[in-house]
Amino acid sequence: MNWGNKILLAFVAFFLVIGTLVYKSFHTKSELVSSEYYKDEIEYQKVINGSQNVNSLSSSLKVENSNRKLKIVFPKEIIPNQITGTVWLYCAYESKNDLRFPLNVNSIGEIQYDSTFLKPGQYLVKVSLDNKGTNYFIQKDILILQ
């Protein structure tokens, strides 16, 4: 094989590698954190204020995952019958696993959800609530194993 054929073979191999990379890049799924990114960015000041309000509480929100139950326990200062808000289970690697629930706190300041329907993985529990006109925002990591 002469040098001309070797150069031609190198160019063909180079273009095949580049073509494969381009093909794979077009077929790779990439998701944004939120489909409404700009709207969420404007609302982020509420998250900052809510996080600062959480620091004024005597204890933090507790998130426990045991016996296929996801349990969220609120601090004593938060009055259960005056809470409104949402719980967001955010799955970073796949948005179709995200779940949102309204807050339904029982009389002792707890929420329990059945976690058997959650796919295994790392979740971020984001709790946004309003208690007597004060906003709170709390987020905790949990790992779902099944």
Looking at residue 31, its pLDDT comes to 66
Looking at residue 57, its pLDDT comes to 82
- In the numeric block, the tokens 């696993």 are attached to 97
CA distance 62 to 139: 10
CA distance 51 to 87: 15
CA distance 50 to 61: 13
Going residue by residue through the chain (146 aa), what tens digit of pLDDT does each one get? 899 999 999 999 999 999 999 999 998 876 666 677 777 777 788 888 888 888 888 888 888 887 778 888 888 777 767 788 888 888 877 778 888 888 888 878 888 888 777 888 888 888 888 888 888 888 888 888 76
Looking at residue 136, its pLDDT comes to 87
